Structure 1
Amino acid sequence: MPIAGLKSAKWALPLGLLLWITVAEADLGHHLEFLYIDANEGSASGGHAALKFDQQVFHFQHIEPGLLRLYRNDAAAFEFAYGFQENRSIYGHRIDVNADFFQVLRDAFNRRLLIQNQQLSLLQALHDDQALASDLQNPGMAPHISVKGLGYFLTQYRPTATLPVASANIAPSSQALQQLRDAIVKEYGQNFLVDKRQQTWQNLQSLKPELAFKTASGELTDMRSTATSSAFAERYRNQLLNMAAMDVLQTGLSPRTESLLALPEATFKLSAAQLAKLQDFRQRLLADLISLMRSQRNDWGYPLLVGMARLHALDYSIASGYLIVLNRSRSENDDPQATIIEDANVPAALQYSQQVFMAASGHLDSPAALDELAYSELELSATALMQLHKPREDQQPLKLLPLTTTPSRPAAAELIGLPIPAKKLADFQNTVTEQIEIYQNQLQSLYGYNLLNRNCVTEIFRVVNQTVASMAVANQESTRQASQQLLGGYMNEQGLNMIPFVAYAHIADTYRLSASFQREPYRERRRQLRYRQMPQWQVDLQESNVLSSTIYDRNREDAAFLFFTQDQIWPRPLLGGFNLAVAGGQGLYGLFSWPWDSGDNLHKSLKGIVVSLPELLFFNIRKGSFPGLLPEVGIYVP
């Protein structure tokens, strides 16, 4: 069962423009697709299961601390991550259903997703409240708090009761912010900005530590949302954010140079029509920011910060004739989710990024008005492209930082004390600690992962059967009768159906199917292409091991091994013995490399041993993976 998300697709997939060919949908009727994903080293090493509705895939994954979480992914992204980057075979059953049940079942999964996301967000809010209550008892020694969006202007921020004296009298360095400030004064009056900042400070100082919600034994359910108010830490962070935005506006700060990206190449020079489109978008953005100053939302400072940074970038784009956008990558160069692009893949990555950017820049040529969504796509695609153009030192592999779904580059803000007695803060902290324990136990009871009776397969059938049961009650039928009518049969979520490949086999004998299919993994597709160029025996010999393979390249995700055993059955124990020896050798090396690799080689050695042992019994798990694969590199074989 999987313990991580689609981590291997973390750079390419956020753009949502995968060059992937999917199986055509039927023109008549509705159908679901039950997907079984074959085993491989890494996440979902025991196989995985998912349910596909049109172009959406729902699947459950094991997350810490021992919970099953529902995810919804774009079908192309899901199949590219598992079938190509993780090199797994994907088997599917197409299940015919009527339109009403199709919609009801999809709504049930979406509702479960929304409710669970809220519940996990509430758990995080409790942890944030606990940390803030502790820090406020000694704010001078507390770590800084992260404020999203502020990193486009500052690296650190120190909130004060009045506008900082050091910057209150300096001339604004951003004409865009100067114009915005003058427009706000003209619209709302001379004292508006001063009064609004003072009110923001007072709002911060008047905050009280109160629970956003109270947990109670037995009341948590996956069928309805929990009524809450804003958490204490969220309200505190929002007021800091609002105040920081006001200070940036009033001092007229320009965005930091490294927070802006420029595309100066002549290929991307803006035409007169494109400049006019940006000018029109700028005017609407300016009007929106003026209206925002009257907003009743609690975190109005965030869209104000992002809007001011974009306003400045738009002015520079219009003045220079070249596109300048906000940097949408994460700011940490050592981000563990960064994608390493090997030198051999850089040309393909560059070509893909250019294609994505040209598709997004098409919004500038469209007769439709440029809206925020289209401009955001432009920012994302330009950021991805510019990362591939950045200079590298010491011949290091190209590292691509993950892109953010919103412009959220953070900055550190000093913690400001509140006029709250220390005892009250300590009591609140103790109360929150108790609530965390209760709430975690409730979540564990509701979503607790168990390999044998609660995993990625059983939860799919549980949601399906619960939905069928609710419809059966309305029609005065039993769940089994309703399932036979709606799906062609009834699948129990217990027993051997908790094993993905067993459940897949049982569905073929139980549900009403219109088709079954298999989608070959990336390596097998490439082998099939090579068969057209060379004799089969020569391809099989060359691709049988990692030393001579022209398809597989050693990568940081896989444990060391020598032979691919999925292609051979009878020689598998012998080849597995060699793989086991290689894994043992990596372990011996790991004993010496522990001081500088933090046990990475020892960990991979253990993983290699675990996936090599089944090969001695004619069973294959490991197939090799391609984490650096980009969408256009994936080759579709009909």
Structure 2
Amino acid sequence: MRFAKWAMVLGSLIWITVAEADQSRHFEFLYIDANEGSASGGHAAIKFDQQVFHFQHIEPGLLRLYRNDAAAFEFAYGFQENRNIYGHRIEVSEDFFQTLRDTFSRRLFIQNQQLSLLQALYDDQALVAGLQRLGSAPPLPIKGLGYFLKQYRATEAFTVEAGKPSNSSQALQQLHEAIVNEYGEDFLAAKRQQAWQTLQALKPELAVNPSANEPKDMRFTATNSSFAERYRNQLLNLAALDVLHARLSPLSESLLEIPEAACKLNSAQRAKLQDFRQRLFADLMTLMRSQRSDWGYPLLVGMARLHALDHAVASGYLSVLDRSRPESDDPQAAIIDEDNLPAALQYSQELFAAASKQLDSPIALDELAYSELELSATALMQLHKPRHEQQSLQLLPLTSTPSRPAAAELLGLPLPTSELADFQNSVTQQIETYQSQLQSLYGYNLLSRNCATEIFRLINQTVADISATAGESTIQASQRLLGGYVDEGGLNMIPFIAYDQIGSTYRLSTSFQRQPYRERQRQQRYRQMPQWQVDLQESNTLSSSIYQWNGDDAAFLFFTQDQLWPRPLQGGFNLAVAGGQGLYGLFSWPWDDGDNLHKGLKGIVVSLPELLFFNIRKGSFPGLLPETGIYRREAF
């Protein structure tokens, strides 16, 4: 994940401040024009208030619905990817607006459930394969346990030995004593024995039988917990009780402290953290009587937070759990170079300052506000990591919940080998069946099922449901509700044609265009320099003061979107540059894994249309950071 998207994800998680939703009832159809990279042929989306729904192609060949904050969506496409965003605002009734938005929301929830079911089948397959080859099977990652341990092996009795006095947590000692006083001396041992027996009694059963419960569009499916989930929960429960029994302090590398003078806690802030700590302590006491099957995870996180809160109150500096993924080779890690470090640091400081205001608010600190503190502090501390003379800094993705994992050794179950083998065969068959069913339901096809056609399909489906109760045809109902009818077939599968079709068919209140980042910067320079000078300087990548080539773009020379008639000539130069990068890629393949060859071929593909007066490539800005107040702009 590039740093700009890392920053936008963080901003979406902890600092979303958008304009008030318009009280008029309308939704917007958005067309995002072409550029090199994803959705190079253009993209379509639909916006309700400050939520944008859009479909994207995912593996294995499915069309998946996503929902994003509107400001984050515009920043990603209009700023980072430097694309024009065109929109039609369609006026509708209040009832139809709510019904249509519910249709998209329902599709999102159901599809997420169906894909989670598919993942559960994969998890079952991996677990049962591991149980058949204990000793050589890879360990099972247990979320939350990594705050206390790096590796874990469960046994029938308490596993983790008590730590040394220097490694003992006063917070966990206090919690342990409170549990014993409240529930009795034998409570924890009995609770652990129950978790052990539950684990040993597990039977490999499917959460759902896809053959008997074929996924239906817009229908929820009743499911049970998967075999892998039940196994993982009980292993996690055992681990949490072992940590509590040993009164372990969290690992030093799993906690973050911000020792800067500007971040020193005052007495009121420390009192607020202490109040939150007391409520958390009471919640953990109640949790010990919980009937939920996964109580071990909140117990682990709660114990780690208790320790961090005590440390913060005692030291006077905020101490939080590390919310980054610990894998040093994470493929989603962002790399920020020396030039972008000051801007990144300033942005993270602004996010941390915004989240820290919760400590000065008269409102009691709650779970969400404290989580925002953890996230912003983690982002800030990543930028303070020592770099050992490296010219770039690796930023790991942040997690939506505290989930630092530890490796747990698989624990064998008293099951016949034949039963495990039969279950593995059954799961493999069900995966094939369920994938086929999802493919028929959501299969991506560039010409018949893509980001544009699926929006019309859901709109027309909603209209058809309404028309069935009103005793009119779908076309008649669409004319009444939307001003006209647009079919999902034919050329409407092309996003810009779909946009034009809506403009001439639906009942519009207005249409608009949001200029991309580079064009906005050019307009600003027109106010500072003669237009001819700006056009000349910004016409190419060598002299441009706005664009700097980045590793996400194929090499090119001229920006061909600015003028129409010179485009074929400029495209010829771009084609030559792309060919040169591809030729170089043939020789550099052994040490760059074909990266330059791939980019050269991609550059050729996006340069060829320029010879015919058509522009795709516009350059991108992956290192761009949101400006202060970007979420307050009225542009979206």
Q: Which TM-score band applies after superposition, normalised by the shorter structure?
A: over 0.9
Paired amino acid for 1:192: F
Alpha-carbon distance in 2 for matches of 1:634, 1:627: 19
The answer to whether 1:271 aligns with 2:266 is yes
CA offset at residue 394 of structure 1? Answer: 2.3
Q: Which residue of 1 aligns with 2:114?
A: 119
CA offset at residue 338 of structure 1? Answer: 1.7
CA RMSD, 1 decimal:
1.9
Q: Which residue of 2 aligns with 1:539?
A: 534
Conservation of the 8 A alpha-carbon contact between 2:2 and 2:623: no
Match of 2:298 among 300, 303, 309: 303
The answer to whether 1:64 aligns with 2:53 is no
The answer to whether 1:167 aligns with 2:158 is no
Match of 1:476 among 468, 471, 475: 471
Q: Which residue of 1 aligns with 2:77?
A: 82
Conservation of the 8 A alpha-carbon contact between 1:531 and 1:539: yes
Q: Which residue of 2 aligns with 1:372?
A: 367
The answer to whether 1:548 aligns with 2:543 is yes
Match of 2:315 among 312, 320, 323: 320
SS at match of 1:632: coil
Alpha-carbon distance in 2 for matches of 1:10, 1:120: 24
CA offset at residue 170 of structure 1? Answer: 5.3
SS at match of 2:312: helix
The answer to whether 1:253 aligns with 2:244 is no
Structure 1 pair 12–169 and aligned structure 2 pair: CA distance change class (3 A):
closer
Q: Which residue of 1 aligns with 2:6?
A: 10
Alpha-carbon distance in 2 for matches of 1:268, 1:169: 31
The answer to whether 1:128 aligns with 2:110 is no
Match of 2:93 among 89, 93, 98: 98
Q: Give per-residue Cα distances to partners, 1:27-69, cap 9 Å, x unaligned.
A: 4x30001000010011110100000000000000000000000
Q: Which residue of 2 aligns with 1:598?
A: 593
Match of 1:610 among 605, 618, 625: 605
CA offset at residue 567 of structure 1? Answer: 0.7
Name whichever of 459-468 and 577-586 sits farther off.
577-586
Conservation of the 8 A alpha-carbon contact between 2:560 and 2:615: yes
Name whichever of 351-360 and 111-120 sits farther off.
351-360
Paired amino acid for 2:161: S
CA offset at residue 581 of structure 1? Answer: 1.2
SS at match of 1:59: strand
Alpha-carbon distance in 1 for matches of 2:306, 2:200: 31
The answer to whether 1:215 aligns with 2:203 is no
Alpha-carbon distance in 2 for matches of 1:637, 1:224: 37
CA offset at residue 160 of structure 1? Answer: 1.2
Alpha-carbon distance in 1 for matches of 2:447, 2:418: 47
The answer to whether 1:509 aligns with 2:507 is no
Q: Give per-residue Cα distances to partners, 1:210-232, cap 9 Å, x unaligned.
A: 11111127832111111111100
Structure 1 pair 500–8 and aligned structure 2 pair: CA distance change class (3 A):
farther
Alpha-carbon distance in 2 for matches of 1:156, 1:302: 16
Structure 1 pair 586–316 and aligned structure 2 pair: CA distance change class (3 A):
same
Q: Which residue of 2 aligns with 1:520?
A: 515
Q: Give per-residue Cα distances to partners, 1:357-402, cap 9 Å, x unaligned.
A: 1111111111111000000001111111111122212232122211
Conservation of the 8 A alpha-carbon contact between 1:558 and 1:604: yes
Match of 1:108 among 88, 103, 112: 103
Percentage identity across paired residues of the two chains: 74
Structure 1 pair 158–218 and aligned structure 2 pair: CA distance change class (3 A):
closer
Q: Which residue of 2 aligns with 1:632?
A: 627
The answer to whether 1:424 aligns with 2:391 is no
Alpha-carbon distance in 2 for matches of 1:520, 1:268: 39
Q: Which residue of 2 aligns with 1:153?
A: 148
Paired amino acid for 1:167: E
CA offset at residue 169 of structure 1? Answer: 7.8
Q: Map 1:174-189; keep pairs closer than 5 Å.
A: 174-189=169-184
Alpha-carbon distance in 2 for matches of 1:315, 1:169: 18
Alpha-carbon distance in 2 for matches of 1:169, 1:618: 71
Q: Which residue of 1 aligns with 2:190?
A: 195
SS at match of 2:52: strand
Q: Which runs of 5+ in 1 are unaligned?
A: none
Q: Give per-residue Cα distances to partners, 1:503-559, cap 9 Å, x unaligned.
A: 000101100000000000000001111111111111111111111111111111111
Paired amino acid for 1:419: P
Alpha-carbon distance in 1 for matches of 2:329, 2:31: 35
Structure 1 pair 211–21 and aligned structure 2 pair: CA distance change class (3 A):
closer
CA offset at residue 569 of structure 1? Answer: 1.1
Conservation of the 8 A alpha-carbon contact between 2:2 and 2:334: no
Alpha-carbon distance in 2 for matches of 1:87, 1:18: 25
Conservation of the 8 A alpha-carbon contact between 1:469 and 1:478: yes
Alpha-carbon distance in 2 for matches of 1:496, 1:6: 34
Q: Give per-residue Cα distances to partners, 1:98-121, cap 9 Å, x unaligned.
A: 111111111111110000000000
Paired amino acid for 1:65: P
Alpha-carbon distance in 2 for matches of 1:580, 1:523: 22
Q: Which residue of 2 aligns with 1:344?
A: 339
Paired amino acid for 1:12: M
Q: Which residue of 2 aligns with 1:284?
A: 279
Name whichever of 337-346 and 312-321 sits farther off.
337-346
Q: Which residue of 2 aligns with 1:386?
A: 381
Paired amino acid for 2:480: Q
Alpha-carbon distance in 1 for matches of 2:260, 2:18: 35
Paired amino acid for 1:320: S
SS at match of 1:389: coil
CA offset at residue 633 of structure 1? Answer: 7.7
Paired amino acid for 1:62: H
The answer to whether 1:244 aligns with 2:239 is yes
The answer to whether 1:262 aligns with 2:253 is no
Structure 1 pair 23–618 and aligned structure 2 pair: CA distance change class (3 A):
farther
Q: Report the count of equivalent residues.
A: 632
Q: Which residue of 1 aligns with 2:226?
A: 231
Conservation of the 8 A alpha-carbon contact between 2:52 and 2:68: yes
Alpha-carbon distance in 2 for matches of 1:484, 1:363: 49
Paired amino acid for 2:354: A
Alpha-carbon distance in 1 for matches of 2:124, 2:396: 30
Structure 1 pair 218–462 and aligned structure 2 pair: CA distance change class (3 A):
farther
Alpha-carbon distance in 2 for matches of 1:201, 1:88: 56
SS at match of 2:487: coil
Paired amino acid for 1:305: L
Alpha-carbon distance in 2 for matches of 1:524, 1:392: 36
